[in-house]
């Protein structure tokens, strides 16, 4: 399966600031996704990152708060904007080689907001 | 009622035991079924990926899907302490559809 690298692995940020999380894959993939996971909880899909077009956001998530870029088939970024303590969570990138292939995950970014 | 139900545990068993992990679901349109293993401070790791009904075996792991009962299972034979992790089930209607996740079951294998 693909090797997925997420940066940073963890960060502590101040309220009101923004953080950009990077997801790099070692081979081209069709699908890239961004999830949020509270400690001890299951996963919530934030959006599907589309190459060359705007991301597709799930209910409850908006582009102004979570802008996403996907400039090519191996790289995507998620920005968490104007952060508040409620944004403290684990953010995970996942990829799928094709639309009929399962998703594989990076190790996540652990974000704490003070 | 949630679309996918999974007992969060923890489930504690002795080393060497056969472990049975289960999920039930309500949407009869689900066709793709997955089991992921997640260690602490790591991302989910795909263990099993099955389409429609039936069994699939990979080493010590066996996945079963019973669409008539809307029930999926993951069996772990000869369980090891290294199997201690959270196991998440996930499913979808089709290849382009959003994954629906279970809550995850925390498994503890006692040496």
Q: What is the mean pLDDT for each group of 10 consecutive residues in chain B (111 residues)?
A: 90 97 96 95 95 92 96 97 97 82 96 94
Determine the residue of chain A that is closest to B88 in CA distance: A42
Contact A24, A74 (CB under 8 A): yes
* Neighbouring C-alpha atoms within 13 Å toward the C-beta of A40: 3
Share of chain A above pLDDT 70, in %: 100
Listed by number, the residues of chain A in 28-87 with a beta carbon closer than 8 Å to a beta carbon of chain B are 41-43, 45, 58
Question: Is B95 at the interface with chain A, CB within 8 A?
Answer: yes
Can you give the pLDDT at residue A51? 86
B23 CB burial (10 A radius; 0-12, 13-18, 19+): buried
Can you give the pLDDT at residue B96? 63
Alpha helices in B43-111 (DSSP H): none
Min Cα separation B1/chain A (Å): 16
CB pairs under 8 A between A and B: 43
* pLDDT < 50 positions in chain A: none
Residues of chain B with Cβ-Cβ distance to A105 below 8 Å are: 36, 43-45
Residues of chain A with Cβ-Cβ distance to B44 below 8 Å are: 43, 92, 105
Listed by number, the residues of chain B in 15-34 with a beta carbon closer than 8 Å to a beta carbon of chain A are 32, 34
Strand B19-25 to B71-76 pairing: antiparallel
Can you give the pLDDT at residue A40? 82
Can you give the pLDDT at residue B52? 86
Name beta bridge partners: B21.
B74
């Amino acid at each position: 399966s693909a090797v997925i690298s997420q940066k940073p692995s963890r960060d502590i940020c101040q309220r009101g600031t923004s953080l950009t999380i990077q997801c790099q894959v070692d081979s081209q993939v069709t699908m890239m996704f961004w999830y949020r996971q509270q400690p001890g909880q299951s996963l919530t899909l934030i959006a599907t990152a589309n190459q060359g077009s705007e991301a597709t956001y799930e209910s409850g998530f908006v582009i102004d708060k979570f802008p996403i870029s996907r400039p090519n088939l191996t790289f995507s970024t998620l920005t968490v904007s104007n952060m508040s303590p409620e944004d403290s969570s684990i953010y995970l990138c996942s990829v799928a080689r094709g639309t009929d292939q399962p998703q594989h995950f990076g190790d996540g970014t652990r974000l704490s907001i003070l | 009622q949630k679309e996918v139900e999974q007992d969060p545990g923890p489930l504690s068993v002795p080393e060497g035991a056969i472990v049975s992990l289960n999920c039930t679901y309500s949407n009869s349109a689900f066709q793709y079924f997955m089991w992921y293993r997640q260690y602490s401070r790591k991302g989910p790791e795909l263990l099993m990926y099955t389409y429609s009904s039936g069994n699939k075996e990979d080493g010590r792991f066996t996945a079963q899907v019973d669409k008539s009962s809307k029930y999926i299972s993951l069996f772990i034979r000869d369980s090891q302490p290294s199997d201690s992790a959270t196991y998440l089930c996930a499913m979808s209607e089709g290849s382009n559809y959003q994954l629906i996740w279970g809550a995850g079951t925390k498994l503890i294998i006692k040496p």
